[in-house]
Structures are given as structure tokens and as C-alpha cells.
């Protein structure tokens, strides 16, 4: 609760700062440029913040350079791209920078955080710059986390869903079809068990709320109710998921990596590269890097839908592009040009090919570049095919705190003989306080 109070105070302070723009540097203009109402001089200078390294960083810097060389050159806009770490690190820096009047103009924002930053006055609506027909081109499942109370604040950029990755080389060793991953929970358990003969754990997993969101939705449940005010992971569907995973550890060659998701994920990734674990859930965003790691280490990987129990349904993830709230005039128009360019049809194709993030627009499904990619590398198409089952993530301010309570409860269940229903009921009770 203390952490939540601190966050709320930060956001309140940020909102006050937004209203006090005169003392914090309202309407940031290019160096040497006159204020609004005077004749514009020189190019508009924008700062763009992004997250993550490797192929994702390369994609960001390539798109920014492409913008500067084309639209920016034509319209007098120069953008500087700056890396800010993980989403969590970028969000934290953004709050501090906003209070100090030193925020970027455009940045990526993890989708579940859009509402918090919109209500805190740090980002502004952008609907007036977007053609409605253009907005309708984005897949519906990606748009759910772009609106706050019916107002458009973000545009889908590098978006993802979780998928099941599997080691095709280990599948062959175990006598399994390397071109067919498990379709449901029953097959996941059966295939995992058979992979013992290949000398590897079958299905490896960590306590990650995004992965649990996917699995519980594939069982007809969810982590919270429809208006995000009450935890529901202690429902029969949620309990069944926990029981399934726990039983899999004992009976079906599942391997649980305990502890915080980031550290546990690093250990899982090491086992994957060393071919000690054959199946795991991760983001589509890692597809390009995962395929490179497989090639470098002498194995092949495949991708499949998140295994279902009762239905196919997955949460979307990744980031939207947003503009900060102090922008106005030329800078605001320039920021809109940048967002439209970074999320355009051509950019959406390039973003997908470069990183493995989803092809965000429906109209590019027949693009020759993508058809050629899918023919050569069918692993990329799985994410697109699964997208029709995609849906948004909860955006309640207390959700990420409650998610931590839930994942810690699941860690306790997987690591001990604690009563599953009792542990989840207590966690849900604690989460309900945070959500309200």
C-alpha cells in the first residue's frame, strides 16, 4: 500500500506540474525557435524514448533514422532516439522527468500503463490526428489498451502476444512430430512426459502474470473481473490451472523456475539455450532473437498457440506510442507525424520482420514481404494466426501490484505443499484491497 501511495503522489505532482507549465517549460520548442504566435524558425527538435535492446533497439533506431531522412527532412522535424531500459525503468524515469519538466516528446508505453499515465496528466489524447479509417485498420484486440474512458491516447506500435516455443530438435529425439506443438493442456502434459527420453525437462515455466493471464483465459477464466475491481484468479478456472501446473511438476516432467520472474526467466533462458528445457512460453517479440540463439547453438525451434483447455484466448502485450501532455503547436503536430510514421503500414511490416512483434495492421496481411517471410519462416505466422483470439490487459492502477501478489502466491504453490485454494483465496483478498 505504501508503494501505491508514493506512485499516486508522483502522478498527482505530475498533473500539477502539467497545469503549471509556465514554470516548468511549457511548449518545448527547438533551440533558438520563437514561442507560439511568432514565425517558426528552424526544425522542430523532438526526443523519443524507447525500451529494450538487441533487435528491438535496432528497429527503433532504424525507424527514427528513416523518419529523419524522409518525413522529417520534408517537414522540418529532427528526432533524437534515447534508450531508457525496460518498460518499468522507462515509466519510472518518465514520471521523474515530467515533474522536472524534462520529459521526452514521444515515447513507448507498456499497454497496461496507459490509463495510469493518462489519468496522471502525463500523456495527452491524440485522436484528432488519427484518421478513423486508419485506426480501424489495427486489429481490434490491439486497440483495447489504447483508449481511456473512450478517448484515444495510444497507437499500437511493437505489440505482442505470448506464444509457446518448442525445441524441434528435442522433439525429434523424443519421437514427437517436430512440426506440431501441443494444442491443449492434455497434449502439453503428454509431450512433456515423452521429452524425458531426450534428457530434457518437457515444459519449463516461471511465475509471470502475463503467462498466467494467457493460460487462465485459455481455461475460460481471468485474473480479474471485467471492471478490474476484483481478483478472480481464485475461481474454479484459476484453481484448476494451479492444480494442473503443480501436478505437471510431479507427473509430467514440468520444470518450475522459482523466484521473481526476471531472474527465473534468465535461468530458464539458459536452460533453453543448453537444450535442457524443450517447451516454454515467451513473447512473440523474442522470436527473432530466439531463432538466432537456436541457430548459433545447433537446434531449431517451432512456435505454437498457447495450449488451451476450454478455449483459445490470449492477452496482448507490448507497447503503444504516446505523446506527452505539455506538447502544443508545432511540436505537437510534429509528434503526431512521428507517431503516424512509426505505426504506418510500411513501418508495421518492417517492425514485424525485424523483431517478431505482431503485424499490427489488418491491411498488410497480403503484403508480399510478409508472404515471403511466412513461406520461408512459418514460425512468424503463428503469432498472426493467434491474434484473432487476442484481447486487452487490465489497466487498473493497482493491477501490477496485485499481479505481484498473485505471482508470489503461485510461486508458493509451486514450491511447497501449501493448500492451493487457501493460498489463492488469501492472495485474492489482498489483491482486492489494492484494486479498490
Between the alpha carbon of residue 230 and those of residues 8, 97, 216, 277, 404, the distances in Å are 20, 33, 16, 35, 15
pLDDT tops 50 at residue 273: yes
Domain shared by 240 and 270, yes or no: yes
Burial-class residue 40 by CB neighbours within 10 Å (0-12, 13-18, 19+).
middle
pLDDT tens, position by position, 164-222: 999 999 999 999 999 999 999 999 999 999 999 999 999 999 999 999 999 999 999 99
Residue 231 φ/ψ, nearest 5 degrees: -70, 140
CA distance 409 to 407: 5
Together in a domain, 208 and 123: no
Question: Residue 143 has which C-alpha cell?
Answer: 486497440
Residue 20 lies in a domain: yes
- Is 364 found in the same domain as 429? no
Q: In a 3-state reduction of DSSP, which class is residue 391? A: strand
Same domain for 118 and 22, yes or no, is: yes
Say whether both 93 and 115 belong to one domain: yes
What is the residue range of 429's domain?
A: 162-315+398-435
Nearest one of 412, 318, 320, 390 to 356, comparing CA atoms: 318
Q: What is the pLDDT of residues 336-346, one digit of tens each?
A: 999 999 999 99
Residue appearing with cell numbers 527465473: 264
Specify the pTM: 0.86
d(CA 357, CA 360): 8
Residues 275 and 420 in one domain: yes
C-alpha torsion sign, points 182, 255, 411, 404: negative
Q: Same domain for 198 and 65?
A: no
Query: Is 428 within the bounds of a domain?
Result: yes
Q: Are residues 102 and 14 in the same domain?
A: yes
Spatial separation of the C-alpha atoms in residues 267 and 290, rounded to whole Å: 15
**CATH code of the domain covering residue 430:** 3.40.190.10
298 with 322, same domain? no
Residues 333, 265 share a domain? no
Burial of 276 (0-12, 13-18, 19+ CB in 10 A): middle
Residue 332 predicted with pLDDT over 60: yes
Q: How confident is the model at residue 22 (pLDDT cuts 50, 70, 90)?
A: very low
Q: For 134-147, how does the pLDDT look when each residue is reduced to its tens digit (9 = 90+)? A: 999 999 999 999 99
In a domain, 220, yes or no: yes
Domain count, the chain: 2
Q: Does residue 390 form part of some domain?
A: no
* Mean of pLDDT values over 252-267: 95
Q: Specify burial of residue 106 (Cβ count, 10 A radius: 0-12, 13-18, 19+).
A: buried
Amino acid at each position: 500500500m505504501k508503494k501505491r501511495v508514493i506512485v499516486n503522489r508522483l502522478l498527482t505532482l505530475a498533473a500539477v506540474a502539467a497545469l503549471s507549465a509556465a514554470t516548468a517549460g511549457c511548449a518545448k520548442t527547438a533551440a533558438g525557435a520563437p514561442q507560439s504566435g511568432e514565425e517558426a524558425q528552424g526544425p522542430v527538435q523532438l526526443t523519443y524514448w524507447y525500451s529494450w535492446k538487441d533487435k528491438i533497439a535496432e528497429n527503433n533506431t532504424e525507424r527514427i533514422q528513416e523518419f529523419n531522412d524522409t518525413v522529417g527532412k520534408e517537414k522540418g522535424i529532427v528526432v533524437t532516439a534515447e534508450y531508457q531500459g525496460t518498460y518499468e525503468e522507462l515509466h519510472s524515469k518518465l514520471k521523474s522527468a515530467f515533474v522536472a519538466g524534462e520529459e521526452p516528446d514521444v515515447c513507448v508505453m507498456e499497454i497496461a500503463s496507459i490509463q495510469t499515465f493518462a489519468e496522471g496528466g502525463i500523456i495527452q489524447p491524440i485522436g484528432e490526428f488519427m484518421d478513423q479509417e486508419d485506426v480501424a485498420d489495427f486489429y481490434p484486440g490491439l486497440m483495447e489498451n489504447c483508449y481511456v474512458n473512450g478517448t484515444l491516447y495510444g497507437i499500437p506500435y511493437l505489440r505482442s502476444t505470448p506464444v509457446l516455443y518448442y525445441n524441434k530438435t528435442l522433439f525429434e529425439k523424443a519421437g514427437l512430430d517436430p512440426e506440431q506443438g501441443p494444442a491443449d493442456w492434455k497434449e502439453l502434459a503428454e509431450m512433456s512426459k515423452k521429452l524425458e527420453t531426450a534428457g530434457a525437462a518437457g515444459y519449463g515455466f516461471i511465475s509471470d502474470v502475463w503467462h498466467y493471464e494467457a493460460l487462465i483465459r485459455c481455461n475460460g477464466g481471468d485474473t480479474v473481473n471485467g471492471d478490474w475491481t476484483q481478483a478472480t484468479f481464485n475461481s474454479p478456472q484459476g484453481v484448476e490451472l494451479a492444480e494442473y501446473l503443480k501436478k505437471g511438476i510431479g507427473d509430467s516432467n514440468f520444470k518450475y523456475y522459482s523466484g521473481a520472474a526476471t531472474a527465473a526467466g534468465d535461468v530458464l533462458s539458459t536452460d533453453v539455450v543448453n537444450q535442457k528445457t524443450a517447451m516454454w512460453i515467451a513473447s512473440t517479440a523474442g522470436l527473432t532473437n530466439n531463432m538466432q540463439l537456436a541457430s548459433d547453438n545447433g537446434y531449431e525451434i517451432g512456435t505454437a498457440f498457447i495450449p488451451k483447455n476450454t478455449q483459445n484466448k490470449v492477452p496482448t502485450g507490448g507497447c503503444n506510442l504516446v505523446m506527452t501532455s505539455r506538447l502544443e503547436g508545432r511540436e505537437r503536430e510534429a509528434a503526431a507525424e512521428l507517431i503516424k510514421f512509426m505505426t504506418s503500414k510500411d513501418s508495421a511490416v518492417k517492425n514485424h520482420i525485424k523483431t517478431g512483434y505482431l503485424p499490427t495492421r489488418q491491411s498488410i496481411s497480403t503484403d508480399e514481404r510478409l508472404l515471403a517471410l511466412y513461406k520461408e519462416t512459418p514460425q512468424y505466422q503463428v503469432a498472426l494466426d493467434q491474434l484473432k483470439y487476442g484481447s486487452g490487459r487490465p489497466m487498473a492502477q493497482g493491477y501490477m501490484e496485485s499481479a505481484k501478489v498473485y505471482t508470489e502466491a503461485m510461486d508458493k504453490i509451486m514450491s511447497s505443499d501449501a493448500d492451493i485454494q487457501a493460498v489463492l483465496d488469501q492472495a485474492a483478498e489482498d489483491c482486492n484491497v489494492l484494486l479498490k
